[in-house]
Copies of this chain bind each other. A is one copy, B any other.
Amino acid sequence: MTTKSESPNPAPLIDRGLDSIFYPQSVAVLGVTPTPGTVPYDIFYNILASGYKGVLYPIAPGKKSISAVPAYRYVSDVEADVDLAVIVFPAVVVDKALEMCGKKGVKAAIVISAGFREVGPKGVKREQRIKDICAEYGIALIGPNCLGVINTDPGCMLNASFARKMPSEDRIAFLSQSGALCTAVLDYARGKNIGFSKFVSFGNMAGITEIDLLYYLHQDPKTDVILLYLEELRNGRALMEAARKITRGPNAKPILVVKSGRTSQGADAASSHTGSLAGEDSICEAVFRDAGIIRVNTLDAMFNAAILLTYQPMPAGNRVAIVTNAGGPGVMATDAAVSWGLEIARFQPQTTSRLQESLPAVANIKNPVDVIGDARSDRYEAALEAVMQDANVDQLLVILTPQSMTDIQEIAQGIVKVQKKALKPMACSFMGASDVQVGIDILEQAHIPHYILPELACKAMANVQRVCKWRQTELEDFEPLPADRTAVAAIIDDLPEGYLAEDQALAVLKAYGLPVPKHKLCKDADQAAAFAQKIGFPVVLRVVSPQIVHKYDVKGVVLNLENAEQLKKAYKDMMDHIAKVLPDAEVTGVLVRGMIPAGHEVILGAKRDAVFGPTLMFGLGGIFVETFKDVTFALAPIDEGIASRMVRQIKAIGLLKGARGAEPADIAAIEQSLRRLGQLISDFERIRELDINPLIVAPAGQGAAVADVRIRLDG
């Protein structure tokens, strides 16, 4: 089955298929039983009871009707067209059912049944079979092993799931790989008065993937924000491409994700649960970052940010004004805001004057504004009006604690009034529970996001800020750099599995424009001395031998040779030593190259990952990689923006920028090298692993040089 992500143009097949899933004119439920409380019955009944606007056909061999709806033996018995089949038959007969659907011309299917990939090898085979059938007949398939699909659009009203209650209509879509999580999420969201536009449990993704769904929701006029729960990142690059289109531009929609399996123990649990291969989390993290997908760790954080994104305008910047009737919570909110990267707005002088006029002398008129415990709605309103109009304020947080004088209802109404006139986003925290409920109800009705603690509001605001920042990031079209593919192919095509010799590895890098110093593989001391003379002393000697991987261990490297005499002596000593310690090593020769002036040592790595394909790694050399694990990742190839992100995201970036009065390093040269490396590993599938360790980076404008490289080929 072709997906949008694989073809340059959206595949109309999927589009039609997804329309048939969300907006079918008719639905057949295959495998209905007449017993309430079982999944096969409940699914049927949920469609019937949800107010579905199309026609519903129960397929229940041996039954005349189900809940008074005429039943059919086979889907082929239905005379009219069937757009969508919802299949609840046991796993072993799902293939038969799908085959019949195919023959009938059914456009889409949701397979609820479990017993596929998640149960091991037998299930994998079963899943492949239904995949093949769907491909053959062009059926768009959701599932198997899922809870189903819900569409709250009043024009359709479809609850094709075994979740008991239909959620209310809202502008948030939720997609989940886990079916069991869905019932909890529906109940949780209902408890917070949050509804959904579309709600999809996509299960094993045998047909339609999360990526297809994202493209579809991007075009869905009923959806503003997309939430995604993932346990497995099956196609990182396609997800990245999709998300980059969806999260930017005139029809931009934010995507928030909870990806579980963050820790290796979590990943183990996920793979024993879904039968999926869990990818390295640091690479997932990089994919989400470069895709503009906002990753959060918990469902709260996801919904807390979602309501702010859905109900409020986007803020122009990260400067927050806080208005509170209690100092302590104001301080706690300030701590939270600042520690998550928001700024505490500095008021303009006219705002300060207005606050001074309208608040009592004991009030705090600096941000956070404290209207003091005995404040009533007039004081809140005056303060809110003043700070809302301040050009230095981008967004507002209103905090309330229930004091004896606090007219909670009036204050909430006042907040709604101020918010209606303003174009800036606002969030509230009426702290407590039952005492403040009357106010919370008013705020929620007016779609002003409410959080039980101010810290949660700040976290949500900070996550919205990530969306803003992403939209402002400049993205370039990816353009491959000029490179000599033929030269590389000529070197590696005939080589067996294993490491390249150093001169070969350097030649490969050179063909891709990486900064390789002048060098030559010399067969004897005279040749070496002559070449050194040509490029100029001082030079380095490095032994080349298929048996020697760790050159330093056998004294196979000599640095800083200043003249021919020194070089020749070093050459002889090296050969003598190696002959002694590794008498069987075949020495191909000695690589002679110029000394690279001291500079920052960085590590550039490229690796073909089992889950993600070609990936890139960057870090500062030595203790930074080994002790601090201060490294960054990306999927290869990369554009300028990602190269820049990779370098700047390491914690020790201060060192490259010139900490302690040192000269800043040539960061542009590192970025260039990373891009070229990314292209190299992407172009040649046989390259399994490639490390430049170190690349020595000169001060800004003076480039960098490869000091050592290892390239490993697959067979």
Contact = CB atoms under 8 A, between A and B. Distances in A.
Interface of A: 37-39, 42, 114, 119, 162, 164, 176-181, 183-184, 186-188, 190-192, 229, 231, 258, 260-266, 269-270, 272-274, 297-300, 325-332, 334-339, 344, 362, 364, 366, 368, 370, 373, 401-405, 431-436, 452-453, 455, 622-623, 626-628, 651-652, 654-655, 659-660
Nearest to A330: B269
Contact of A297 (B38, B326, B373, B455): B455
27 contacts: A37-B405, A162-B404, A176-B328, A179-B373, A181-B326, A181-B328, A183-B432, A184-B432, A187-B402, A187-B434, A187-B435, A190-B434, A229-B328, A258-B332, A260-B328, A260-B332, A261-B335, A262-B339, A264-B338, A265-B335, A265-B338, A266-B338, A272-B364, A273-B330, A273-B364, A626-B660, A628-B651
Contacts of A325: 180
Given A262-B339, A269-B368, A335-B261, A659 B183 contact: no
A180 B329 contact: yes
A44 B321 CA distance: 37
A332 B299 CA distance: 10
B452 A188 contact: yes
A327 B180 CA distance: 7
Total copies of the chain: 2
Contacts of A184: 326, 329, 401-402, 431-432, 436
A180 B373 contact: yes
Contacts of A183: 401-403, 432, 435
Nearest to A36: B404
Contacts of A260: 328, 331-332, 335
A159 to B, nearest CB: 13
Given A42-B404, A332-B266, A338-B263, A327 B274 contact: yes
Contact of A328 (B42, B177, B263, B264): B177
A191 B266 contact: no
A258 B336 CA distance: 12
Contacts of A261: 331, 335
Given A298-B336, A623-B659, 20 more contacts: A38-B404, A181-B326, A184-B401, A184-B402, A187-B434, A187-B435, A187-B436, A188-B432, A191-B433, A229-B328, A258-B332, A261-B331, A262-B339, A263-B339, A266-B335, A266-B338, A269-B331, A270-B331, A273-B364, A300-B453
Contacts of A366: 269, 272
A416 to B, nearest CB: 21
A81 B559 CA distance: 93
Contacts of A39: 404
Contacts of A229: 328
B266 A164 contact: no
A366 B401 CA distance: 46
Contacts of A177: 328
A364 B335 CA distance: 42
A432 B335 contact: no
A444 to B, nearest CB: 14
Contacts of A335: 260-263, 265-266, 297
Contacts of A373: 179-180
Nearest to A186: B432
A277 B603 CA distance: 46
Q: Which 9 A-B pairs have the closest CB atoms?
A: A191-B433, A187-B432, A178-B328, A180-B326, A273-B327, A184-B431, A266-B335, A184-B401, A260-B331
A361 to B, nearest CB: 9
A367 to B, nearest CB: 8
A366 B178 CA distance: 19
Contacts of A655: 623, 627
A350 B556 CA distance: 55
Contact of A180 (B264, B403, B436, B452): B403
A188 B433 contact: yes
Contact of A652 (B338, B433, B627): B627
B265 A190 contact: no
A263 B402 CA distance: 26
A274 to B, nearest CB: 7
A344 B401 CA distance: 40
Q: Which of A265, A335, A659 neighbours the largest number of chain B CB atoms within 10 Å of its CB? A: A335
Nearest to A281: B335
B265 A344 contact: yes
A181 B329 contact: yes
B180 A433 contact: no
A194 to B, nearest CB: 10
A402 B229 CA distance: 18
Nearest to A181: B328
B273 A370 contact: yes
A195 B599 CA distance: 63
Nearest to A657: B627
A652 B627 CA distance: 7
Q: Which of A626, A627, A659 neighbours the largest number of chain B CB atoms within 10 Å of its CB? A: A627
Contact of A298 (B179, B269, B436, B453): B453
Q: Which of A39, A366, A435, A436 neighbours the largest number of chain B CB atoms within 10 Å of its CB? A: A435
Given A180-B373, A187-B433, A37 B659 contact: no
